[in-house]
Amino acid sequence: MSSLKLGTVYQFSTSLPILEGLATVGKFDGKHASLACATLGHRVTIHDSTPQDADAPSVRALNVNKEVTALVAGSFDKAQNDALVIGSATTISAYNVEKNSDLFYKENSDGVFSATMGQFGGESLLFVGGSCNTFALDSEGNEKYWGVTGANVSSLALVNGWRVGNSEAQTRLISGSEDNELRCFDGTETTTIATEGDKVIRLAAAPKGGRFAYALANGTIGVYEQNERQWRIKAKARPTSFAFVDVDFDGVPELVCTWSDGTVEIRRDIAGGQGDILFKDQFGSPATAVVAADYRGDGRVLPMVCTYDGEVRGLATMESTMEELAENKEKMLLESLIQEKQQLQFDLKNLESQVALQKAQKAKDPATPADTNPPPNSVMLNANTSVKLRLRPMSETKSIDLCITASDGAVIRGALVTGELIFPAGSDSAFFHAETPQPTLSCPICLDKDVGTELTLSVLVGSPLSDVYQVHDLKFRLPRFSMHVPVQELPRIPTGFVTARISERSGRYHAWLATCFNATTQPDTDFRACFVCLRDRSGLEVSASSNNGGEFTVRCDNMQTCGDIIQDLGAFLGLKELESVADFPNEFETFQHVLQRVEEYNNVRMKLTAEIADSTQMVKALVIKAEDARILNDMRNMKKMYGSLYEVNRELMGEYLKRSNNHNELLAALKEVNTMIQKAGQLRLGQAKQRLINECRSAIKANNIHSLFHIIKTGKTA
């Protein structure tokens, strides 16, 4: 039930549709707030809250001539006006609205999917999310940082108040990508915060406290405080935008959410809260964006909700009378009492049913003492009945079975299993049951990636003749590498490997293995274990020796799996820095072909650009000649020029289609390049990881392929 009363305090229309998530507010004249939003026709509209000229229109339009993929406003220098940053599929530009000029304009073949601005490391930077990478630019468009991710970066946010131990609060860059991962960048290293159940499509940072909100493509929204998720909810509609705004001016910002079905919600965001709804309204068209701004210049920051039909509303709390406050309080109290009554009635009905069953059982066998265990065919269940869990690999189905077993002759009617990232279609839970209840129930789980998660189970246990059953609530930790089945020896030793120097006791390796694999080893033996993956039957070997002061080796032809193992072991042992040497012949051979394709696509791109430039000059010449012929009333030559112009235009359209297809192919190849760098970085920790990423970037810019492969293998330049 809504506990806030909000109303529209100002309203206007841009007269043009506002695209989803592409709205921002900035002071482009240095004084007054203006709303900039992307619209149809590759344009950006700017609405001025206070036009400098009374006769000037309040809405202006900028022709971008490219599809807008990112839009953000901010200042590179506090003494300057805010700049409007516009991202497209191939470019990123910072635009001075008042001077009608570009601060900088950069081509970016990796694409632009998201952007944010703010203070980071003592200077104001623009952060851009591209295809498997993020980079930062200064006021002149110079690159200050470049890093890799596992997929397209769909959202970015700068989070303030991030603390590590007793250190001072700092700013962190949070990225959300299409591989479902949330990552944190601290200036020197990128770490994964969490892997969610679907693509991360939106991020929003709270003003302080290290809190930020996230939204997924499956309708989930939630809030993290640094690395810990505080709450989340899931809806049928798709979240389009959100912002933190202190709506009731109590010093604690609320989360304002907009949805694709036109719903606008305000949710409470406090420590230990569950995102309770404080306000909810329904708009006539999809709500596409919400921004927090002092748009009227009265010192109050309010949520501005934008809709697809171009309507913009500013929302603010309305004063309530004492009678309304008392009525709301009574309604909330009544609702809680009704819920409590329903729960008590349900509990009473269950107790009455159990008493009736006990009486019926006693009537059948009055000689049975009350304190003895019930017979196997009884409707009663032994009070000491327990439920045990174990994992069983299934090679035939390429899955693992979570086996649930009940003791004392009890049977399992069904089990509700809840866990993240293990069920298809973005679902977090599944219900398993057998046609005929048995003492053991198997729940098949098929994992596409190596993920570890905490499973919550609600198991329905009862006797064979009873229709009343107990609910056993259990927790089970699913090991991250549970899809790898232990074997004595591998039929073929993998050619790919990574070796790192780690000085650690053998017992620590055995303890790590027990936590992340569905296997155990003897601590008093040398550390070596072999596994076969259920997904593709590939081999995996992990071992450790005392050579060279201690070496840890992973042999596997899958570079991603080796990186995951290095990262997991590093987290378990608490390692901050780790260098390694690696070689993956199969993947490196494929990567060599990818680099050749990139070079070919770049050559074709330059050739097509030159040809299109020549054709463009020809078009200009034909237009002038046709116009001259028209002025001279030379209809014959005019028709001839326009006919030639038609043919050249057709050729231009064909060349543009070729260029578009070549760009898509180039983008896909560059994505593979960034993915390889990201996988190579996963084989290291700390400064070694960031150093490898930076050196790989430099080698690619210099087109030094030999050096690139040497860096990936050794982590050092040749």
pLDDT of 313 above 60: yes
Residue 638 — pLDDT band, cuts 50, 70, 90?
A: very high
pLDDT of residue 208 exceeding 90, the answer is no
Break the chain down into helix, strand, coil percent, rounded to 5: 25, 35, 35
Give the mean pLDDT of 586-594: 94
Is the sign of the CA dihedral 181, 151, 234, 204 positive or negative? Answer: positive
pLDDT at site 204: 95
Q: How far apart are CA 685 and CA 707, in angstroms?
A: 21
**C-alpha neighbours within 13 Å on the C-beta side of residue 328:** 13
* pLDDT at position 243: 95
Pick the more confident residue, 382 or 178.
Answer: 178
- 147, 131 Cβ separation under 8 angstroms: no
Residues 6+ apart with CB under 8 A from 263: 237, 280, 281, 282, 283, 287
Task: With cut-offs at 50, 70 and 90, classify the pLDDT of residue 168.
Answer: confident
* pLDDT for position 589: 94
pLDDT above 70 covers what percent of the chain?
Answer: 92
Residue type, 14: T
Q: Does residue 201 or residue 361 have the better pLDDT? A: 201
Under a CB-based contact definition with an 8 Å cutoff, are residues 263 and 269 in contact? Answer: no
Residues in the chain: 718
Q: Which helix (H) or strand (E) holds 256?
A: strand 254-259
653 to each of 58, 90, 128, how far by Cα in Å? 37, 19, 31
The percent of residues above 90 in pLDDT, for the chain, comes to 53
Q: How do residues 139-155 score in pLDDT, each as one tens digit?
A: 999 998 888 888 899 99
What is the Cα–Cα distance from 258 to 10, expressed in whole angstroms? Answer: 18
705-714 vs 635-681: helix axis angle to the nearest 10?
A: 30
Token pair belonging to 547: 């050579």
C-alpha span between 445 and 628 (Å, rounded)? 75
- Which regions of 334-398 does DSSP assign to beta strands (E)? 387-394
Please give the average per-residue pLDDT across 601-623, as a whole number. Answer: 88
Judged on CB neighbours under 10 Å (0-12, 13-18, 19+), 288 is buried
- Between CA 572 and CA 543 the distance in angstroms is 16
Query: Tokens 């327990």 identify what position?
Result: 386
Distance CA 529, CA 541 (A): 6
DSSP codes, 9-39: EEEEE-SS---TT-EEEE-TTSSS-EEEEEE
Query: Strand 399-406 relative to strand 411-418: parallel, antiparallel, unpaired?
Result: unpaired
Q: What pLDDT, on a 0 to 100 scale, did the predictor assign at position 348? A: 85
User: Which residue in 258, 220, 215, 214 sits closest to 236, CA to CA?
Assistant: 220
pLDDT digits (tens, 9 = 90+) for 502-553: 998 888 999 999 999 988 777 766 789 999 999 999 999 999 988 888 899 9
Spatial strand order of the sheet with 453-462 comes to 429-432, 411-418, 453-462, 470-478
pLDDT per residue as tens digits for the range 696-711: 988 988 888 889 999 9
Q: What is the pLDDT of residue 190?
A: 77
- Contact predicate 234/218, CB 8 Å: yes
CA angle at 535 for the pair 529 and 537, rounded to the nearest 5°: 55
pTM above 0.85, yes or no: no
Query: Whose CA is closest to 684, among 582, 585, 586?
Result: 582
Residue that wins the pLDDT comparison between 379 and 317: 317
CA distance linking residue 36 with residue 43, whole number of Å? 10
Look up tokens 């001072």; give the residue: 168
Two tokens, residue 515: 């936590």
Non-local CB neighbours of 537 within 8 Å, separated by 6+ positions: none
User: End-to-end distance of the chain based on CA atoms, in angstroms?
Assistant: 65
Which pLDDT score, from 0 to 100, does residue 56 have? Answer: 58
pLDDT of residue 375: 52
Q: For residue 439, what is the DSSP state? A: S
- Place 365 in a pLDDT band, splitting at 50, 70 and 90: low
- Average pLDDT over the chain, rounded to whole? 88
Could you read off the pLDDT of 68-110 as tens digits, one per residue?
Answer: 999 999 998 876 889 999 999 889 999 999 888 999 999 888 8
Tell me, what's the pLDDT at 326? 65
**Which tens digits make up the pLDDT trace of 213-258?**
999 998 999 999 988 899 999 888 999 999 999 988 888 899 999 9
Which structural domains are found in the chain, ordered by start? 6-318 (2.130.10.10), 387-478 (2.60.40), 484-575 (3.30.530.50), 585-714 (no CATH)
Residue that the structure tokens 């009873």 belong to: 466
* Residue 174: predicted pLDDT: 94
User: Rounded distance, CA 565 to CA 580, Å?
Assistant: 13
Q: How far apart are CA 200 and CA 113, in angstroms?
A: 12
**374 in Cβ contact with 362 (< 8 Å):** no
Question: What pLDDT, on a 0 to 100 scale, did the predictor assign at position 584?
Answer: 96
Calculate mean pLDDT across residues 562-591.
94
Q: Which burial class, exposed, middle or buried, applies to 165 when counting CB atoms under 10 A from its CB (0-12, 13-18, 19+)?
A: exposed
Q: Which two three-digit tokens encode residue 407?
A: 């003791």
